Chains A and B, each alone.
Chain A
Amino acid sequence: MLALVSPALLVILALIVLPVGWLAWQSIYHDGFTLENYRRVFTEDVYWRSFALTFEISLAVTVIALLLGYPVAYLANSVPKGWSILILSLVVLPFWTSVLVRAYAWLALLQRTGVINQFLRYLDAISEPLALVHNTFGTVVATVHILLPFMVLPLYATMQKIPNDLMQAGASLGASPSLTFMRVFLPLSLPGVLAGCTMVFVLCLGFYITPELLGGGRTVMVSMLVSRNVELYNQFGAASAVAVVLLLSVLAIFFVVSRFISLDRVLGQK
């Protein structure tokens, strides 16, 4: 049996375990052991600000995705099966479009001469085009769009398991629909909320294409710090240290979350 897994395992070891290990090694070793790279990451302004910005954006994206995703998952859970299949297909549809294609679509929609600005000017709602892209706003709009399916699917999966009887019991005992929702449904859906939020937050931490294309150079997320240190400045040690700190953050989040819910629930959707 071990022989059967070995080709796949070998690929994984050579192409992800070894490269990540290499990064870790490179971050502390350059003609001798050094913590210089980590000192820079933790003390230099550029790095600090980028990490802070990345966490802020990820938090904002997660909250927005939850606010947008919860009603959709709730609706999909409460309508007849045919409708819920339709709703879920619409949610998953963009999922199978390349991230690059969607970044391009958002550029087409949001730029100064884009569809939305043209439409608003046509309505005479604005006199000057709005700056909707090449900034943090554009990055967040496109990132939420890409990550929303990762929120809706675990939410829906959890809501499916909440027995309908409980809501009826609440109603028969005289609770209003909003009270049954707040006291019964919402608390029972929290594992799904946690699973969805974890996945969205963690994926957002490492996002690269969207901020690079829609951030206009001003929204420097951690992933861009890594790539710039490699491509522009040849600072391999610094790039590695940033990557290691990012990876440790992700693993720490997974570890903390795994104390509350099974990780299969978080990862199971894709």
Chain B
Amino acid sequence: MMRASPARMALYVISALVLVYLILPVLIIAPISFSSARFLTFPPPSFSLRWYEQYFSNAAWMQATRVTLTVALLTVVIATPFGVAAAYAISQSKLRIMRLIHMALLLPLVVPIIITAVGIFFVYAKVGLVATMPGLVLANVMLGLPYVVISVLAGLQSFDPAQEMVARSLGMNRLRSFFAVTLPQIKSSVVAGGIFAFISAMDETIVALFISGGQYQPLTKRMFTALRDEIDPTIAAISTLMTAASFMLVLLASTRQKRSG
């Protein structure tokens, strides 16, 4: 290799600056959350856990946290089997219409979320699902489905369907052969898809702004309202916890995916 040319040096510097720009906001939250100051000062004057105490002792924040965790868990429980079944059918079937269905399942990624949110709000208003738990869960199942479908389809691509054929020729029915032969081999991508659906539900804000209310408001909706009014470091504490949770889940998902090869 030659010595780094000026152009090469410029490339390093620019890229380094862009990477700093990308990660700085992610890293800035944690020190703010551990600061004793009421207002943002940097560096923080002294270490304190008061914003975490405030979060954990506030009934409204705790209720919102329960809603978020319940919605995210129910979303995974429903979206994962729905998505796995759909991905399996799409990969196995040769029907023409499957391509169209595949595209339909990716619609939540294509339609701007604000449009989806307002549309769901109008439909829910007619059927009485606004500000209810089932309404919130259903919307998040829809938003999480594409992640499961994409992840499982990728997993199925490296799976040889002939194996399932063998199992069936040995007398297993289709359902049993799926659970005994196929599922164990795509387990990692199923878990990864489920984790992504969980994170999607945990972070979802815009649909919740329109359709959630009363005691069934998730954390993100309360955070959004709080951010519009004033900047309270309690939000830094919540943000730090949410980010830590997301990162741990992503790490879990990626080690899973790696193991599947």
Contact = CB atoms under 8 A, between A and B. Distances in A.
Contact of A109 (B28, B90, B145): B28
Given A100-B224, A247-B115, A145 B21 contact: yes
B211 to A, nearest CB: 11
Interface residues of B, number: 82
Contacts of A9: 86, 101, 104-105
Contacts of A100: 203, 205, 220, 223-224, 227, 239
B112 A5 contact: no
Interface stretch (B36-44, B52-60, B156-164, B183-191): B36-44
A156 B22 CA distance: 17
A2 interface: yes
Interface stretch (A124-132, A157-165, A202-210): A202-210
Most chain B C-beta atoms within 10 Å of own C-beta, residue among A13, A14, A98, A103 = A98
A5 B25 contact: no
Contacts of A98: 202-203, 205, 220, 239, 242-243, 246
Contacts of A11: 82, 138, 141-142, 145
A90 B203 CA distance: 20
B132 interface: no
Given A98-B242, A113-B39, A239-B118, A71 B11 contact: yes
A20 B22 CA distance: 34
Interface residues of A toward B: which range? 35 or more
A99 B205 contact: yes
B206 interface: yes
B114 A243 contact: yes
A164 to B, nearest CB: 13
B141 A5 contact: no
Contact of A115 (B42, B113, B206): B42
Interface stretch (A36-44, A45-53, A183-191, A223-231): A223-231
B247 interface: yes
A44 to B, nearest CB: 19
Contact of B89 (A1, A17, A99, A208): A1
Given A9-B104, A111-B231, A239-B118, 16 more contacts: A5-B89, A16-B108, A18-B123, A22-B122, A69-B18, A87-B19, A91-B19, A93-B26, A93-B247, A98-B246, A100-B203, A108-B40, A115-B28, A226-B115, A227-B118, A246-B115
Interface of A: 1-2, 4-5, 7-9, 11-20, 22-23, 26, 68-69, 71-72, 74-75, 87, 90-91, 93-94, 96-109, 111, 113-115, 118-119, 145, 148, 177-178, 202-203, 205-206, 208-209, 212-213, 223, 226-227, 230, 236, 239-240, 243, 246-247, 250, 254, 267, 270
21 contacts: A1-B98, A9-B86, A19-B123, A20-B111, A20-B116, A22-B119, A68-B14, A71-B14, A94-B23, A100-B227, A104-B227, A108-B28, A108-B29, A108-B32, A109-B24, A109-B28, A115-B28, A202-B112, A240-B118, A247-B115, A250-B111
7 smallest A-B Cβ distances: which pairs?
A206-B112, A19-B119, A105-B25, A4-B89, A8-B86, A15-B142, A1-B93
